[in-house]
Amino acid sequence: MTEYPMFKVHMDVEAALAELRTVLESGFVNEGVQVSALQRAVAEFLGVKQLVLTNSCTSALTLALKLCGVAPGSEVVTTPMTCVATNTPIDNLGGTVVWADIDPETASIDAGDVERRLTPATRAIMCVAWAGTPCDLDALDTLARRRGVPLIHDAAHAFGATWRGRPLSDFADFTCYSFQAIKHLSCGDGGALICRDPEAFVLARKLKWFGYDRDAHKDERGEWKGQRWSADIEAGEIGFKYNMNNITAAIGLAQMPHLKRILDQHRRNGAAYTEAFRSSTIIRPLRVPEPAVSSYWVYSALVVDETVDRDRLLEALNAEGIAAGLVHVPNDVYTAFGKYGADLPGVRRFADRQISLPCGWWLSEEDCVKIAARVHTLARVA
Ligand SMILES: Cc1ncc(COP(=O)(O)O)c(C=O)c1O
């Protein structure tokens, strides 16, 4: 049976081993030249400037929330239709999660509902690029600027996606990426935070390493120059241990030459599914807003034929080696998030009918057409 996994890590093993050898032989595995090189390479790939690498996207999101001033008494308006990593940092910083509804046709948080939920205590709006498709950044960025509340875009799924032909980070105060085990670019674990405001960027670089300005103090290897106690941590700038290290950066560096090809194949596969489902009465692809180019991390769609049992369809696909699934369940179903309850019809509609199909570089367009055909056939019996 041919297996179609949902996720597969791309790894140029020889190149990664060569990069790792350099790091291990140097004996310097902390944040150093490899981290700086990956930081430059990722920033150049995305066409951005104010980027700081972190040890995960969860860390990048935590830094962004901290930079927005999230603390006990603060509220953050956010979506439950995401990985828990989007929302756990809000609670961990002492903030209050305020759920807003999503548009079930895009899975993007609904700007109108966000606005209704803003209060004087709101310190940030969090949106999530579901499956690699950017949120409606025109509506959300305009709202955020008009109401003076910073916008954080969790773009963990969306490496290489664009809005109006420009980097996503042009349309949010903070944009966060993940380089975790199953992302387009994987370092094992890793992430990036891009700050629109130069002062926030300076502070982000400090907060990712306890609050010290490591960049101002390091030598050419990345090693601290002079005595540690000669540097200060300024008032209100106590940070975290969120830096990337040379080992993970070395793995990331080996991936960079392949990234364009990986993303191109994800996009071609996405287009193949959209074409295959164009006139389907069973499956409706999620709508990609006109200004967006998605990175199609997975292919997300709705089972719109109400007579089809969605969960049985997924089981039937899985039995044939097609790793279709849900990827994430709405966070508000977890007991721990129950205290933030809200009425969210768009989330319920999406969560009950969504499916994700494998879409990555390890598949061809023909594979996707075949999978789409199996979805149609199995839906008739599910
Ligand atoms: C939407 C979303 N945000 C954040 C994260 C967290 O990423 P990381 O594992 O790099 O912390 C994930 C992880 O898969 C995710 O799917």
Ligand 1 pocket residue status of 107, Cβ below 6 Å: no
| Pocket flag, ligand 1, residue 274 (CB < 6 Å) | no
The answer to whether the CB of 89 is under 6 A from ligand 1 is no
Ligand 1 centroid to 171 CA: how many Å?
A: 20
For ligand 1, say whether the CB of 81 is within 6 Å of any of its atoms.
no
User: CA geometry: angle at 32 spanning 30 and 38, to 5°?
Assistant: 115
- DSSP secondary structure code for residue 209 in this structure: B
Distance CA 10, CA 28 (A): 26
Domains and CATH numbers, the chain: 13-257 (3.40.640.10), 259-381 (3.90.1150.10)
Element (H, E) at 348: helix 345-353
What pLDDT, on the 0 to 100 scale, is given for residue 160? 97
Instruction: State residue 149's pLDDT score.
Output: 98
Say what the pLDDT of residue 228 is: 67
Ligand 1 contact, 244 CB (< 6 A): no
Our measurement of the distance from residue 230's CA atom to the centroid of its chain's CA atoms, rounded to an integer in Å, reads 37
Contact status, residue 291 vs residue 164, Cβ threshold 8 Å: yes
What's the 224 CA to ligand 1 centre distance in angstroms?
A: 30
Cα-to-centroid distance, 6 and ligand 1 (Å): 16
Global pTM? 0.97
pLDDT tens-digit profile of 163-177?
Answer: 999 999 999 999 999
Residues of the chain with pLDDT under 50: none
Cα torsion 100, 346, 103, 62: sign: positive
Q: For position 229, what pLDDT does the model report?
A: 66
CA of 56 to the centre of ligand 1 (A): 8
Question: If residue 300 lies in a helix (H) or strand (E), which one and from where to where?
Answer: strand 299-303
